[in-house]
Amino acid sequence: QVRVMESGGGSVQPGGSLRLSCAASGFSFSRYRMSWYRQAPGKERESVAIIFTTGGTTIYADSVRGRFTISRDNAKNTVYLEMNSVKPEDTAVYYCNAHPTVFDWGQGTQVTVSS
C-alpha cells in the first residue's frame, strides 16, 4: 500500500524558515521523481518543486525559486523541502507525491506565514 506522510509544517513569521519532511512507503521510491505540491485556500493544487530520481536535477516554480530547496534521501525513502525567506503567499497545505504520476495523497502539512 502506497503511503506518504508529510510533517514539519507550522506557523512562522514572514522571512522565517521551515523544513518539511515526507516519508514514503509502498513503492520503489528511488525510481520516481518526487515533488512538493501546495494548495492554498480557494486555489488549485500546484507543484512548487520537483527532484529527479538521483537528486541531481531539481526544478522550481518561479514563485519559490531561490527561497526553497528540495532534496531527497533514497536510503530513507524521504524527500525534504527547506523553506527560507517565507512570505504570506506561501501559506498553504503542503503535500508530497511522485511526479508526474501521482499516488494517493497524504494528509499534507499546514504552513501558515503570518506576522
Q: What residues does 5 pair with on adjacent strands? A: 23
Q: What residues does 94 pair with on adjacent strands? A: 38, 109
Distance from C-alpha of 50 to C-alpha of 5, rounded to nearest angstrom: 17
Q: Is 90 helix (H, G, I), strand (E, B) or coil?
A: helix
* Amino acid sitting at position 62: D
State the pLDDT at residue 101: 86
Query: Which is it for strands 18-25 and 109-113: parallel, antiparallel or unpaired?
Result: unpaired
Q: pLDDT tens, position by position, for the chain (115 residues)?
A: 999 999 999 999 999 999 999 999 999 999 999 999 999 999 999 999 999 999 999 999 999 999 999 999 999 999 999 999 999 999 999 999 999 988 999 999 999 999 9
* Amino acid sitting at position 45: R
